[in-house]
Amino acid sequence: MKETGAQEKNTGAAVPGRLRRAARALVFAALAGALATCWADPMGLRQAFMEQVDRRLDPPPDEVQRYGNLARDELRRAGIAEEPPQYALLVDRSASVQALFAFWLPAGAAPVLIGAAPVSTGRRGGFEYFETPLGVFDHSVANPDFRAEGTRNEFGIRGYGEKGMRVFDFGWQQARRLWGRGGTSTMRLQMHATDPDRLEARLGSVQSKGCIRIAASLNRFLDRLGVLDADYLRAKAEGSAPWVLPPDQAPVEGAGRYLIVVDTGRSERPAWSPPPKSGPLPTGADSAP
């Protein structure tokens, strides 16, 4: 009798437990469906950009149209205008702008701005300082990304930012040397976070050795949502998932693969892209990529 009673008691407790697990599964499924709907919609991704990226710019509609047209023109010039609808990033390396634009490029319609943010591109300096190269650059598994170790150099600078920040790699590129007698040579073009305590506040001005520095929050946004991961997602679907993809990634529908770098050559700073607050350059700042 005791055994029977115990069995009845355990069975009675198991039913609510199963119900709770089933309820949790339904909630998680609903959340996953909501996220999928959100990321499939450029307007949803724009809202996510507003919520997740803490250093943002707000260009007016005429500037959005101008840069959207530049993105389309550069892709067409590179012979890839017939690509399917996708996301793309455009960077204006002009010293008076220093901005990144994330666009949705629909077929047969105007580009849609997802968000804009300050960056830092190449400046004059010592040995191995390059001008950030112009053109359309493919984000491909042929040039594997990696993650920052978060270690500090002898000056206490974390060149790639906090541990775990993704370093987006665009391969070896020809670029103009900004030291010595000039000329061109080869540099590794990367887009990455920077030291959050000492260098991130200087985004919006030329600071790097030729790579593109972005804020940590923008790095996480691009990484978590796979905005430029079309080729990485292809590899994953074919059974060879790159290790660098985050396990909790919720990739957008229509992920892209192109980084576009232009130079509008502006002589004056537009009001929508204010310069960073001035201050002394931290010791060892020139040791960061």
User: Would you say residue 13 lies in a domain?
Assistant: no
User: Would you say residue 9 lies in a domain?
Assistant: no
- Helix, strand or coil, per DSSP, at residue 160: coil
User: Would you say residue 14 lies in a domain?
Assistant: no
Q: What is the pLDDT of residue 183?
A: 85
Q: Percentage of the chain surpassing pLDDT 90? A: 71
User: Would you say residue 157 lies in a domain?
Assistant: yes
State the pTM of this model. 0.84
Q: What is the DSSP letter of 208?
A: B
Listed in sequence order, the residues at least 6 apart from 139 whose beta carbon sits closer than 8 Å to its beta carbon are 168, 169, 170, 228, 229, 230, 231, 232, 257, 258, 259
CB 221 within 8 A of CB 89: no
Q: What is the pLDDT of residue 5?
A: 40
Inter-CA distances, 278 with 50, 74, 211, 275, Å: 26, 33, 22, 8
Domain limits for position 194: 41-287
Q: Report residue 18's pLDDT band, with 50, 70 and 90 as the boundaries.
A: low
Cβ neighbour number for residue 74 with a 10 Å cutoff: 20
CA distance 167 to 77: 27
CB 273 within 8 A of CB 57: yes
User: Would you say residue 77 lies in a domain?
Assistant: yes
Please give the tally of structural domains in the chain. Answer: 1
- Helix, strand or coil, per DSSP, at residue 51: helix
Q: Which helix (H) or strand (E) holds 216?
A: helix 216-225
In tens, the pLDDT along 60-110 reads 999 999 999 999 999 999 999 777 899 999 999 999 999 999 999 998 899
CA distance 215 to 201: 9
Of 254, 243, 221, the residue nearest 56 (C-alpha): 221
Amino acid 232 reads Y
User: Would you say residue 30 lies in a domain?
Assistant: no
Listed in sequence order, the residues at least 6 apart from 14 whose beta carbon sits closer than 8 Å to its beta carbon are none
Tokens 């997740």 locate to: 52
Q: Report residue 279's pLDDT band, with 50, 70 and 90 as the boundaries.
A: low
User: Would you say residue 178 lies in a domain?
Assistant: yes
Q: Looking only at Cα atoms, what is the longest distance across the chain?
A: 96
Inter-CA distances, 105 with 78, 92, 156, 227, Å: 16, 18, 41, 12
Q: What is the pLDDT of residue 128?
A: 78
Average pLDDT for residues 2-15, to the nearest whole number? 40
User: Would you say residue 246 lies in a domain?
Assistant: yes
Whether the per-residue pLDDT at 166 is higher than 70: the answer is: yes
Token pair of 185 as six digits = 């040579």
Cβ neighbour number for residue 3 with a 10 Å cutoff: 7
Tokens 């920052």 locate to: 148
Listed in sequence order, the residues at least 6 apart from 69 whose beta carbon sits closer than 8 Å to its beta carbon are 111
